[in-house]
Amino acid sequence: MNTASVPPPPRRLLLTGAAGALGSMLRPRLRVHCEVLRVSDLGGLGEAAPGEEVQAAPLQDRAAMAALLQGVDAVVHLGGVSVEKPWELVRPANIDGLFNLYEGARLAGTRRVVFASSNHAIGAYPQSERLDDRVPTRPDGYYGLSKVFGEQTAQLYWDRYGIETVSLRIGSCFPVPRDHRMLTTWLSYDDLERLVLASLRAPQVGHTIVYGVSNNSRRWWDDAPARRIGYQPLDSADDHTAAVQAAQPVPGPDEAVARYQGGAFMEMGPFEPMESPPAPNNNERGAA
């Protein structure tokens, strides 16, 4: 079953979450690496640029997702709830939606997925530990739990159906590090682009988990798996240390942001159960 080989450049590449922070940044950068870039989100995608197809689809809508995957060779999956939220908001996009994405990929014969997992899949580990890609997951909340589900779904679809995935446990991908924790976890926009392209181009990835982080000297995570798929980070949070130290107070040692790898997510919730969850359009982003 597992007969992967060097993938040709995708003819049609699907980018989900294309209206989000990382999606809108990657959209023009990925367009030049495929014949057709299909972009999707709940909305807010604007007009199709040359070489693009625009197709809005709620992740939790099975039929819409099956249609979205039609004719797609490879996917960069960024769509979904991207911060800690009540379970009733996380589940439709990140659990049902993730399943729908892989089912659509199976039905369409899609070869490879690049899945935006998160450091919050291992966010409950203390910052004193150094982690590789084989440590047991320790999510720090419902959002992190949904990323563990995503990684396990990726493994299932490789073992059963030969769909390859690179799961990117992204640290903190922002234009610059925002706080002291991000001097460790930061991933620059340019390095994210490098990591995504390496994930699309690497031969024989099966299901590979890598940490998405720049070349920060303080990093907690083993960068060997990412380098094995050809990722070479060129940026470093070290260059921003002085600016962060000047602008941000050092957190106390008992604060979650200084104790856990996932930072403040570890102390969010529990939330009151929601009887009728609103549509998932209040997906505001936040630093951990």
Give 12's contacts (C-beta < 8 A, 6+ positions apart): 34, 35, 36, 37, 38, 53, 71, 72, 73
Question: How many angstroms separate the CA atoms of 157 and 103, rounded?
Answer: 9
Q: Name the residue nearer to ligand 15L (CB basis): 102 or 186.
A: 186
287 interface partner picked from ligand 15L, ligand NAI, none, CB below 5 to 8 A per type: ligand 15L
- List the one residue from 111, 112, 120, 207 that touches ligand 15L (CB under 6 A): 120
Provide the pairing of β-strand 164-170 with 207-212: parallel
- List the one residue from 110, 118, 167, 236 that touches ligand 15L (CB under 6 A): 118
Tokens of residue 278, six digits: 């609103």
Burial class (CB in 10 A: 0-12, 13-18, 19+), 28: exposed
59 interface partner picked from ligand 15L, ligand NAI, none, CB below 5 to 8 A per type: ligand NAI
| Site mask for ligand NAI (CB under 6 A), range 240-259, x = bound | --------------------
Q: Is 188 in the site for ligand 15L (CB under 6 A)?
A: no
Provide the pairing of β-strand 172-173 with 164-170: unpaired
Catalytic residue list: 143
Q: Is 288 in the site for ligand 15L (CB under 6 A)?
A: yes
CB under 6 A: which stretch of 23-31, 89-97, 112-120, 222-230 binds ligand 15L? 112-120
CB under 6 A: which stretch of 30-38, 45-53, 268-276, 280-288 binds ligand NAI? 280-288
Q: Name the residue nearer to ligand 15L (CB basis): 64 or 287.
A: 287
Name the nearest CA neighbour of 182 among 245, 122, 269.
Answer: 245
Query: 250-287 burial, b if ≥16 CB within 10 A, otherwise e?
Result: ebeeeebbebbbbbbbbebeeeeeeeeeeebeebeeeb
| Site mask for ligand 15L (CB under 6 A), range 53-92, x = bound | -----------------------------xx---------
Q: Is 287 in the site for ligand 15L (CB under 6 A)?
A: yes
Binders in 4-43 for ligand NAI, by CB under 6 A? 17, 19-23, 41-42
Name the nearest CA neighbour of 167 among 120, 210, 103.
Answer: 210
* Secondary structure letter of residue 237 according to DSSP: G
Long-range contacts: 48-53, Cβ < 8 Å, 24+?
Answer: 53/12
Question: How many angstroms separate the CA atoms of 174 and 192, rounded?
Answer: 10
78 interface partner picked from ligand 15L, ligand NAI, none, CB below 5 to 8 A per type: ligand NAI
The footprint of ligand 15L on this chain (CB under 6 A) covers a number of residues equal to 12
Q: Is 169 in the site for ligand 15L (CB under 6 A)?
A: no
Residues written for the chain: 288
Q: What residues make contact with ligand 15L under the rule CB under 6 A?
A: 82-83, 118-120, 172, 185, 263, 285-288
Q: What residues make contact with ligand NAI under the rule CB under 6 A?
A: 17, 19-23, 41-42, 58-60, 78-82, 92-93, 97, 116, 118, 170, 172-173, 280, 283, 285
